[in-house]
Amino acid sequence: MSYNEIVIAGFGGQGVMSIGTTMAEAAMSEGLNVSWLPSYGPEMRGGTANCNVVISDGEIISPIVLEPTELIAMNLPSLDKFEPAVKPGGLILVNKSIIERKVERDDVRTVYVPSQEIAAELGNMRVANMVMLGAFIEATKLLKFETVVDMLRNIFTGRKAKLVEINEFALQRGADCVDL
């Protein structure tokens, strides 16, 4: 049975909740069970934000994640807070664009992703979160890349349809950062 407990954390405005909802919706469309639990700091943009996502092919015990199997850390305070909680053998994805320190544990896998540099190269800083999601997809193989792209096509319609391509590029560039 597959049971993944994921924490996605960063500052408000970094697309933390978007990563979580995209992950959750993709998992549901693949027939998996999902819970998504957001948590916001006192401020929105610039404050703290994190969400717990549980994805399982069986029953979900709780939406609260105490020992994540995976962590996506978009900023240093998030890495500092959640790194110790990741299960041994787990995975930590680090936004190395703004986190200069290395993961201190040697009992987890780590992927360092220059998400903001890649987003800048693509010409849209708002896709840095999709870069991280692409790295997650590649590192875990938990979700299908095509499922997420199909979701983007359903989300971005009409005038926003042009955003599908850049988000797909961002996902792929994130996936290309994974060398496990």
Q: What is the pLDDT of residues 122-149, one digit of tens each?
A: 999 999 999 999 999 999 999 999 999 9
Question: Residue 92 — pLDDT band, cuts 50, 70, 90?
Answer: very high
Percent of the chain at pLDDT exceeding 90: 86
pLDDT at 13: 86
- Tell me whether residue 87 is exposed, middle or buried, using C-beta atoms within 10 angstroms of its C-beta: 0 to 12, 13 to 18, 19 or more: middle
pLDDT at 180: 56
122, 167 contact by CB (below 8 A): no
The mean predicted confidence, pLDDT, of the chain is 93
Flag whether pLDDT at 37 surpasses 80.
yes
Crossing angle, helix 128-140 and helix 16-29, to 10 degrees? 40
Flag whether pLDDT at 43 surpasses 70.
no
CA distance 157 to 97: 30
Q: Enumerate domains of the chain plus CATH numbers.
A: 3-175 (3.40.920.10)
**CA-to-CA dists, residue 86 to 106, 117, 139, 168, angstroms:** 12, 26, 16, 29
Compute the average pLDDT of residues 76-97. Answer: 97
Flag whether pLDDT at 32 surpasses 90.
yes
73, 95 contact by CB (below 8 A): yes
Termini Cα distance of the chain? 22
- Give the residue among 48, 175, 70, 23 at the shortest CA–CA distance from 113: 175
- Tell me whether residue 30 is exposed, middle or buried, using C-beta atoms within 10 angstroms of its C-beta: 0 to 12, 13 to 18, 19 or more: middle
